Amino acid sequence: MLPPPDGALPAAAGIEKLLTACAGARATVERLEPLQHHPWVLRAHLAKTTGLPGTVIVKRVRPEGYGLRSADELARCERAALAFIADDLRLALAPRLHASSPDSRLLVMEDLRPRTELAGQLRRDGLRPALDAELTAFASSMGELAAASAGRAALFDARRTALGTRADRLGDREHAHGGIWRHGLARAAAFGVPLPLAAERDLAAAVAELADPGPFLVLTNGDTESHNFLTGPGYDGRLIDFEGAGFRHALTAATGFVVPGPNWLRVSGPDQVAAFRRALARTVPEAEEDQRFGFGLASASLVWVMARVDRLGTLDARGPGDDSRTQMVALLESGAHTAETCRVLPHLVAWCRSTAALLRRRWPETDTDPAAVAPYTWRKR
């Protein structure tokens, strides 16, 4: 077994004990391989054992939490989500959980190799036709998970409660970025582009839609970006990273196809939104209603835009040519375009348009044709 470079790797004996109990036969870890960019995730290479694969993924508790959850809550949530998806929903959309420690601080799950991260492929190759099809498979997978989980929030909450999650952490009905949109509202005012009262009313309506999803209350992993989808042969992809999983508005899982997430300067996803909608509508017929679906998609998109507006002051302090400035303009304009297409939230749309225009004047390097940027162009800085 590789020696721990910093003493941080878990003892092989603990992994072996969990797997031995799972397989009913002695499991031996031959080597632990830390995964690049994910220091708390390892690949364990196993000696040949009946009932076990040659490798498994071992996920340790993070060094710290994020969002509203502590590190321990993140681990418990992932354990609950993987069991919920496999055992309650009976879906093969996520890695199978082989074993977990009683405190959930160590999870041993299926190794999804040779599948690879979709975001990495997009960054390397750009949006070629094969990857456009993989994006559609990704959208369909999220829609399938949403459809299967609709109406089953109590069962997931029960799993989390059984693992020791505090009751006040259940629900998660706001989007995964929680109340960060409030910081965006304050930052916009400090930057000199306060929201007019009518735009604030639109924002309040969008937030209310996310907080009370009605039939659109479904399970999402809380970070529905392409780095959390592993593609495989024959479009047999898998969703990963369920630490932030929770029941929230289904359309929060589709925003990444219409407004750029943190990695991209531009996205392009009408086909992906349509695929997500088809899958969701199998159990949520309201998804077929243009007004309801459109309002949900626009609300989720513009609340995400307001969350990112929190960065206005930071970006203004950076030098000309920083890609994040271009991304901010693209974010405002794509959020406005989404709501315009759905014919909702006109006052918030107008604020996004006027703010983007102001930024184009203030940051001249951003005053370019957005169509000249290829979809899924990686943000360099």
* Residue in the structure block whose two tokens are 């348009």: 353
pLDDT score, position 170: 59
pLDDT score, position 10: 63
318/311 Cα distance (integer angstroms): 11
CATH number of the 117-372 domain: 3.90.1200
Q: What are phi and psi of 107, to 5 degrees?
A: -115, 135
Pick from 141, 275, 114: nearest CA to 221 = 141
175/308 Cα distance (integer angstroms): 13
Pick from 333, 314, 309: nearest CA to 189 = 309
pLDDT score, position 292: 97
Pick from 262, 258, 247: nearest CA to 294 = 258
Per-residue pLDDT of the chain (381 residues; tens, 9 = 90+): 333 444 445 678 889 999 988 888 888 999 999 887 778 899 999 998 777 899 999 999 988 887 778 899 999 999 999 999 999 999 999 999 999 999 999 999 999 999 999 999 999 999 999 999 999 999 999 999 999 999 999 999 999 999 998 766 555 554 445 577 888 999 999 999 999 999 999 999 999 999 899 999 999 998 899 999 999 888 899 999 999 899 999 999 999 999 999 999 999 878 999 999 999 999 999 999 999 999 999 999 999 999 999 999 999 999 898 999 999 999 999 999 999 999 999 999 999 999 999 999 999 999 999 889 999 999 886
291/47 Cα distance (integer angstroms): 56
pLDDT score, position 298: 98
pLDDT score, position 335: 97
Evaluate whether the domain defined by 12-110 bears CATH number 1.10.1200. Answer: no
pLDDT score, position 66: 78
Domain ranges in the chain are 12-110, 117-372
Q: What is the pTM of this model?
A: 0.93
